[in-house]
Amino acid sequence: MTILVIAENTNSALAPATLNTVAAAQKIGGDIHVLVAGQGVGAVAEAAAKIAGVAKVLVADNAAFAHQLPENVAPLVAELGKSYSHVLAAATSNGKNILPRVAAQLDVDQISEIVSVESPDTFKRPIYAGNAIATVQSSAAVKVITVRATGFDAVAAEGGSAAIENVSAGGDAGKSSFVGEELAKSDRPELTAAKIVVSGGRGMQNGDNFKHLYTLADKLGAAVGASRAAVDAGFVPNDMQVGQTGKIVAPQLYIAVGISGAIQHLAGMKDSKVIVAINKDEEAPIFQVADYGLVADLFEAVPELEKLV
Amino acid sequence: MKVLVAVKRVVDYNVKVRVKPDNSGVDLANVKMSMNPFCEIAVEEAVRLKEKGVASEIVVVSIGPTQAQEQLRTALALGADRAVLVESADELNSLAVAKLLKAVVDKEQPQLVILGKQAIDSDNNQTGQMLAALTGYAQGTFASKVEVNGDKANVTREIDGGLQTVALNLPAIVTTDLRLNEPRYASLPNIMKAKKKPLETLTPDALGVSTASTVKTIKVEAPAARGAGIKVKSVAELVEKLKTEAKVL
Is the backbone of residue A303 left (phi > 0), alpha (psi -120 to 50) or beta? alpha
Measured CA distances, A56 to A2, A14, A34, A39, B221 (Å): 10, 16, 6, 19, 37
| pLDDT over 90 (residue A102) | yes
User: Model confidence over B100-136: pLDDT tens digits?
Assistant: 999 999 999 999 999 999 999 999 999 999 999 999 9
ipTM field: 0.95
Distance from CA of A191 to the nearest CA of B (A): 10
Q: What's the pLDDT band for B41 if we cut at 50, 70, 90?
A: very high
**Confidence band of A203 (pLDDT split at 50, 70, 90):** very high
DSSP state of B91: P
Cis amide leading into B171 (omega within 30)? yes
> What count of CB pairs under 8 Å joins A to B?
251
Q: What integer pLDDT is reported at residue B32 of this predicted model?
A: 97
CA atoms of A200 and A207, how far apart (whole Å): 10
Q: Which residues are CB-contacts of A138 (< 8 A; sequence separation ≥ 6)?
A: A108, A109, A111, A121, A122, A123, B214, B215
State residue B225's pLDDT score: 86
Q: Is A208 on the interface with B (CB under 8 A)?
A: no
List chain B residues with CB under 8 Å of A182.
162-164
Query: Does the distance separating the beta carbons of A103 and B162 come in below 8 Å?
Result: no
According to the model, what pLDDT value does residue B49 have? 98
Tens digit of pLDDT for each residue in A47-96?
A: 999 999 999 999 999 999 999 999 999 999 999 999 999 999 999 999 99
Which of B141, B169, B226 lies closest to A97 in CB terms? B141
pLDDT of the residue at A27:
97
Mutate to test the interface with B, among A176, A227, A278 (most CBs of B within 10 A): A176
Asked if B67 and B88 count as a contact pair (C-beta separation under 8 A), the reply is no
Put simply, whether A94 touches B (Cβ < 8 Å) is: yes
DSSP state, residue A288: G
In this prediction, residue B248 carries a pLDDT of: 86
3-state secondary structure of A115: coil
Q: Which residues contact A194 (CB under 8 A, 6 or more apart)?
A: A188, A222, A223, A249, A251
Alpha-carbon span A98 to A146, nearest angstrom: 10
Task: Give the pLDDT confidence of A15-49 residue by residue, as tens digits.
Answer: 999 999 999 999 999 999 999 999 999 999 999 99
Q: What are the strands, taking DSSP E only, across chain A?
A: 2-6, 31-38, 56-61, 86-90, 110-114, 116-119, 122-127, 132-138, 143-147, 163-166, 176-183, 196-200, 223-226, 253-257, 274-279, 292-295
Closest CA of chain B from A282, distance in Å: 10
Beta strand pairing call for B112-116 and A274-279: unpaired
Residue A138 CA to residue A111 CA, distance in Å, equals 8
* CB nearest to B248's CB, from A96, A129, A253: A253
Taking the CA of residue B199 and the nearest CA in chain A, the distance in Å comes to 29
At residue B89, the pLDDT reads 87
Instruction: Give the span between the Cα atoms of B25 and B21, in whole angstroms.
Output: 9
Residue pair B88/B211 in contact by the 8 Å Cβ criterion: yes
CB-CB contact of A254 with A286 (8 Å)? no
Q: How far is A70 from chain B (nearest CA, A)?
A: 8
What is the C-alpha to C-alpha distance for residues A14 and A68, in angstroms, rounded to an integer?
Answer: 13
What backbone torsions phi and psi does residue A157 show, to the nearest 5 degrees? -80, -15
DSSP state of B56: S
Q: Which residues of A touch B14 (CB under 8 A)?
A: 263
- CB-based contacts of A89, cutoff 8 Å, min separation 6: A5, A6, A8, A21, A95, A98, A99, A145, A146, A147
Cβ atoms A136, A143 nearer than 8 A: no
Q: Give backbone dihedrals phi and psi of A215, rounded to 5 degrees, phi first.
A: -65, -45
**CB-CB contact of B42 with B6 (8 Å):** yes
B185 DSSP assignment: P
| Mean model confidence pLDDT for chain A | 96
Q: How far apart are CA A270 and CA A126, in angstroms?
A: 12
For residues A259 and A197, the answer to whether their CB atoms sit within 8 Å is: no
Selected for mutation to probe chain A from B27, B118, B166 (highest A CB count within 10 Å) is B166
B-contacting residues in A 24-53 (Cβ below 8 Å): none
How far is A300 from B52, CA to CA, in rounded Å? Answer: 48
The amino acid at residue A294 is: L
CB < 8 Å to B249, chain A? 220, 253, 309
Spatial distance between the Cα atoms of B240 and B161, rounded to a whole number of angstroms: 35
Tell me what the mean pLDDT of segment A224-229 comes to.
97
Residues of A in contact with B20 (CB under 8 A): none
B205: amino acid identity, one letter:
D
- The per-residue pLDDT for A278 is 98
Strands, E assignment, A153-291: 163-166, 176-183, 196-200, 223-226, 253-257, 274-279
